[in-house]
Amino acid sequence: MNEYEESRRSFLTKLGMTIGAGVVAGEKLSAKVLNSKAEFPLTSDQQKLMDRYENWMDEFIPVIKDFRANPNDSVAQKRIAELSEEAESWQKELTGFMEDENFARYYMTATERMTKEIY
């Protein structure tokens, strides 16, 4: 496992989830979750966190791509650290919401987009 993979796994573990090594082949997901939001009804607070998370992913994905292309990119390294700190600030709220099955499914669907775009 390379340094990027170790950092990524560690970061995702901190967010309270584990991403499997295999990624299911399929169409690339769009910038927002493709599943109908009605499929995973969320509370207002849960939706606010998911909107924040999806916006965060929109910033995180290109930085990770830059880092993967050039692991010595100090700008990408700094931005990854900043984005990781930002994510840690809402980890407690995320962990609490993960107890709700609808939220957890929505979250995993959103995270799948990030995984597919990074690979």
Q: Tell me, what DSSP letter sits at residue 100?
A: S
User: pLDDT digit string (tens) for 49-79?
Assistant: 999 999 999 999 999 999 999 999 999 999 9
User: What are the structure tokens assigned to 49, written together?
Assistant: 């966190």
pLDDT, tens digit, for every residue of 18-43?
Answer: 333 233 323 333 334 445 556 788 99
79 vs 64: CA distance, rounded Å: 9
Check residue 2 and give its pLDDT.
Answer: 54
Three-state DSSP class for residue 14: helix
| Model confidence, pTM | 0.68
Helix (H), strand (E) at residue 46? helix 44-69
CA distance 117 to 95: 24
Other beta carbons within 10 angstroms of residue 97's beta carbon come to 21
Q: How confident is the model at residue 114 (pLDDT cuts 50, 70, 90)?
A: confident
Q: What sign does the CA torsion over 98, 92, 78, 10 have?
A: negative
